[in-house]
Amino acid sequence: QVHLVESGGGVVQPGRSLRLSCAASGFTFSAYGMHWVRQAPGKGLEWVAVMWYDETVEKYADSVKGRFTISRDNSRNTLYLQMNSLRAEDTGVYYCARRGQTNSWLDYWGQGTLVTVSS
Amino acid sequence: EVMMTQSPGTLSVSPGESATLSCRASQSVSRNLAWYQQKPGQAPRLLIYDASTRATGIPARFSGSGSGTYYTLTISSLQSEDSAVYYCQQHNDWPLTFGGGTKVEIK
């Protein structure tokens, strides 16, 4: 079955960097686009970024554009999110999620990893 | 950016009754609309995509409808396990956007 496991979260000071990873199993990772979605404590869901299966397309929310970079290693079945210049408002649980077969619904989600940006 | 507005904010329903949740987009999303269920401490789970197609393993008592800018999620014969926050999401345009959520409580 599809399994997504995020890691790399933690407490980081404002202005510093962090890299999240998402290990995928149970499906052909190289055939699916992948998303990052975040959720601030007690708040709703916010889409962050997407990368196509073949890395030809990547898109970002305006709130992270220029600071975050999504990437993937299809040989390792792993998705990444490099987060630079972190701000307090980046605090939250970060989920990776698989893109639907023909459009950008999110059909499987990981359990999330918590990022806390605080001095 | 397409703004998604969900109503009501909270819905309290007795077991066995039906609940209808609404989601309105600031512009047409051409039925490119998904619904998710999120229980406390858990990741969201896909229920519906393309406005009315149930995801794998989702019971038939969850149904979606709508077009243009207005969509609904109906949960029939509510069960205690349906207590959760439900989000809509448009997958018609970038950036992807979610509604603010509707919390369904079981009386």
pLDDT at A103: 86
CB contact under 8 A, B49 and A100: yes
Model confidence over A59-117: pLDDT tens digits?
999 999 999 999 999 999 999 999 999 999 999 999 999 999 888 899 999 999 999 99
Judged by CB atoms closer than 8 Å, whether chains meet at A47 and B50 is answered as no
> Strand pairing of B84-90 and B33-38?
antiparallel
pLDDT in tens, A23-68: 999 999 999 999 999 999 999 999 999 999 999 999 999 999 999 9
- Give the pair of three-digit tokens for residue B79: 């069960």
Tell me: pLDDT of B68 over 90. yes
Q: What is the pLDDT of residue B23?
A: 98
pLDDT over 90 for what percent of chain B? Answer: 99
Under a CB-based contact definition with an 8 Å cutoff, are residues A92 and A38 in contact? yes
A21 has a pLDDT exceeding 90: yes
Tell me how far CA of residue B23 lies from CA of A2, B34, B79, B83, in angstroms. Answer: 29, 10, 22, 18
Average pLDDT over residues B57-62: 97
CA–CA gap between residue A79 and residue A24 (Å, rounded):
8
Taking CB atoms and an 8 Å cutoff, what residues of chain B touch A61? 95
| A102 vs B48, higher pLDDT | B48
Q: Return the number of other C-beta atoms located less than 10 Å from residue B18's C-beta.
A: 12
Q: Which residues of A touch B98 (CB under 8 A)?
A: 44-47
Most A CBs within 10 Å: which of B6, B33, B46, as the mutation test of the A interface?
A: B46
What is the Cα–Cα distance from A94 to A79, expressed in whole angstroms? Answer: 12
Structure tokens, B20: 């209808």
What tokens were used for B70?
């207005």
Q: Which of B49, B87, B95 sits opposite A44 (nearest CB)?
A: B87
Contact in structure between A70 and A58 (CB atoms under 8 Å): yes
Residues B27-32, mean pLDDT to the nearest whole number: 97
Give dist(CA A70, CA B58) in Å, integer. Answer: 30
Residues in chain A within 8 Å Cβ distance of B100:
44
The model's pLDDT over B76-100, given as tens digits with 9 standing for 90+, comes to 999 999 999 999 999 999 999 999 9
- In this prediction, residue A102 carries a pLDDT of 84
Please report, for residues A84, B59, B60, the alpha-carbon distance to residue B47 in angstroms, rounded to integers and kept in the order given.
33, 9, 10
* pLDDT (0 to 100) of residue A101: 84
Mean pLDDT of chain A: 97
Q: Using CB atoms, pick whichever of A47, A60, A112 lies closest to residue B43.
A: A112
Q: Which of B36, B49, B95 sits opposite A62 (nearest CB)?
A: B95
